[in-house]
Amino acid sequence: MALSKIGQIALAVSDADEAEKFYGEVLGLHKLYRFGDLVFFDCDGVRLMLEGTTRQVYPGQGTCIYFMVKDIEAVADKLKAKSVPFDGTPHLVTKMSDHELWMAFFRDPDGHLLALMEEKR
């Protein structure tokens, strides 16, 4: 047996309505459906499930969702224009033999760490 593609990522959020707006309208993810306080988005074949909860939400330490993009600077600028708080600017993480890896980190309304990443060739 071998595990392969991730099918779904679950993320607890304190307000399903606010999270639905952030991930759908601000980040522009395609919403699949909503069932109560569960909101599902498609991330190029991987489902993101946002679970609204009344429990205290603690942003996961060591947990980050990375979104692959083209033109990281332009995407970061568009999100900043929508008041998305970034922890810094897009920056070079490492140079590989065939590409450079660039990242920019930001947070959702609950403080979960998210990132943009681009493999520049």
What is the distance between the alpha carbons of residues 33 and 36, in angstroms, rounded to a whole number? 10
Q: Cα 119 vs. chain centroid, distance in angstroms?
A: 17
User: Does 2 have pLDDT greater than 70?
Assistant: no
Stretch 3-8: mean pLDDT: 82
Identify residue 58 by its one-letter amino acid code. Answer: Y
44's CB contacts (< 8 A; 6+ apart) are 68
- Per the CB < 8 A criterion, the answer to whether 106 and 115 are in contact is yes
- Per the CB < 8 A criterion, the answer to whether 118 and 71 are in contact is yes
What's the confidence (pLDDT) of residue 3? Answer: 67
Question: What 3-state DSSP class applies to 78?
Answer: helix
- Min mean pLDDT across 9-18, 53-62, 88-97, 105-114 is at 53-62
